[in-house]
Amino acid sequence: MDVFRAMGQKMAWLAERQKILAQNVANSDTPNYRPQDLAAEDFHAALSSAGRMAATQPGHIQPSGGQGSVTVKVVEKGKAVLLEEQMAKVSETAVDYQLMTNLYRKHMSMLKTALGRGGQ
């Protein structure tokens, strides 16, 4: 399902962001090191397009628009590493990742229920 693909893309983006933030913290004492972060992606648009129907037979009407792929773009942020700022971003990213994990679990439970296999 496209919803699962969109959630997976968001989780991959969050995991990559966590790596970059960890590098910022690890290099906080490195002279002239500039902190980096990932460019924000429009996951709302990707999720909106994920909810569209797909044409699976030749007679179906073709859906418009793309699937909204996720690209990772690292950008420099600021002139020096502020540990408090980086730790706040690490915490925010961890909370967002947990949210995506919970959403993924709920969607799987709904699919299992719809298929008659229960929500376990």
Q: Encode the chain (120 residues) as per-residue pLDDT tens digits.
A: 588 888 999 999 999 999 999 999 999 999 989 999 988 877 666 556 555 556 566 665 554 444 444 456 777 777 888 999 999 999 999 999 999 999 999 999 998 998 887 655
- Is residue 59 a part of any domain in this protein? no
- Is residue 48 a part of any domain in this protein? yes
Domain containing residue 96 = 2-53+67-114
CA 10/CA 18 separation, integer angstroms: 12
How far apart, in Å, do the first and last CA atoms of the chain sit?
Answer: 20
Whole-number pLDDT of residue 1? 55
Whole-number pLDDT of residue 51? 53
Structural domains counted in the chain: 1
Whole-number pLDDT of residue 68? 42
CA 95/CA 44 separation, integer angstroms: 18
- Is residue 83 a part of any domain in this protein? yes
CA 20/CA 16 separation, integer angstroms: 6
Q: Does the pTM of the predicted model rise above 0.75?
A: no
